[in-house]
Amino acid sequence: MATSARLLSIASRRNGQLASRISKSVTPLFGGLSSTSAGLVSFQRSWMSTDYPAHEVVGMPSLSPTMEAGTIASWTLGEGESFGAGDVLCEIETDKATVSFEAQDEGVVAKILADAGPNEIDCGIPILITVEDADDVDAFKDYVVEASAMPTEAAAPASPAAVAPEPVAAPAAAPVAAPAPIPTAAPTGGKIIASPLAWTVAKEKGLDLASLAIIGTGPAGRVIADDVREYIPVAVTAETTTAAAAASTAAVPPASPIETDHYTDFPLNEASIATANLLAHSKQTVPHYYLTVDVTLDSLLKLRSTLNTTLGEDAQISLNDLLIKASACAMKSCPAANASWMGDSVRMYKSVDVNVVMGSGDNLYTPLIKGVDGKGVKSISDELSTNLESIEEGTEKAAHFGEVGTVTFMNMGMYGIKSCAPIIRSPQAVALALGAAENRVVPKEEPEGDDDLYDTNVMLTATLSCDHRVVDGAVGASFLSAFKTAVENPETLLL
């Protein structure tokens, strides 16, 4: 009994022996050791019921309220080495930072239970044994932590923990409570700075960090595990879009609305949910910025009237058809905008493929018109009419409606909207949105007298959303300038 009381006294005194602090931080971090302390209490049965000398089994500490696992970047002390208060025992790497694990009292490292490396270790799993006397180190040469000493929080709730013959084995990756956004960008200087855990997660997912060049949300742009877990490859994004379009044609209609006294929930179909997720991901990860220009439509409207006199009433060309053609001509004049961010490179396309936004709500589609730069206005008009008929009849084809082009075109004029800043559809670098055509009073360039200073023109506002990784301000301005020229001088559409 005396021995047990003495050991409990030691455990109580040593329970707060180890602390941690963020590397290079002024203020030490110690509050996160509450989980570790609980783990140490559960370990008492292990060394109290054995013939080992008095010792402490130290678990992986919880360094923040949300930390569930970490990796040991390096051990600064080896087995048999003594340490004093303030000495760094090891460097622990979390998803947010690299942390120095400090000693608050003196002692000796008896046994290192977890080697440094990329393997993730759950909080509370034993990583170290310390003793007070250096003569006791040899007694722990073949020490193995018993399963009964493992903290219950590390075991599966549905079954008891099995005996762990290798305490160094890496547990499964801890779930992430709140996903972080995952931007993707080029590496600095061609070298990827990522945590060991990030490399491990990437390997498990079959991803190559060197080729993807994901920029992380960690310190100094360090790639952390959450960035890799939530990374969506460009190809997967396109495939998901196609699958969502396919689901819209064959999926079972959503369930009936759920009504309460205070609100009504309207369930969405799978396609709408997939589209919402993709747009949310794009908005969070693509560095958007916006450019706006006012465009005069008078010359384009005259051209439309002239062309329609040669066509039948059922084959009339709309203003929207001409504006789509003008956007393709502008893209051809500014090829740097007809591109995509590929992680470590920018891909420039030779053909202008336009996704035209049509419909609304659950019937919102973006059918692709390929090679718009090489098509005539009548051909574009016929293809849009065919797409619209398919949507109205519910016979749209997944392959045609789900593909992603090089630019998205959106005309909000039918809703009376003056301007709109669209969300870029990854992996595209730009998206063009047009407002309503309206009569505006503008100053005359060459007034003939004091009573003839103003004129009335039909105008609209065009807004270009740009991915700043691909399209800088000068390129975006060049595109809008080319678009304005094509609209106000429609004869250039023939070139």
Active-site residue numbers? 468, 472
Going by C-alpha positions, the residue among 59, 75, 77, 185 that lies closest to residue 123 is 59
Task: Kindly report whether the peptide bond that precedes residue 367 is cis, defined as omega within 30 degrees of 0.
Answer: no
* DSSP, residue by residue, 158-214: TSPPPP-S-TTPPPPPPPPSSPPP----PPBTTB--B-HHHHHHHHHTT--HHHH--
At 180, the amino acid letter reads: A
**CA 427 – CA 181 distance, rounded (Å):** 16
Long-range contact list for 35-41, CB < 8 A, 24+ apart? 35/59, 35/61, 35/62, 35/123, 35/124, 35/153, 36/60, 36/61, 36/62, 36/123, 36/124, 38/124, 38/151, 38/153, 39/123, 39/124, 39/151, 39/153, 40/11, 40/15, 41/11, 41/15
Cα-Cα-Cα-Cα torsion 298, 299, 305, 307, nearest 10 degrees, comes to -160
**CA 256 – CA 105 distance, rounded (Å):** 64
CB 72 within 8 A of CB 99: no
CB 456 within 8 A of CB 441: yes
**CA 91 – CA 75 distance, rounded (Å):** 6
**CA 470 – CA 287 distance, rounded (Å):** 10
Q: What does each C-alpha distance from 371 to 11, 245, 332, 375, 397 come to in angstroms?
A: 74, 21, 11, 7, 19
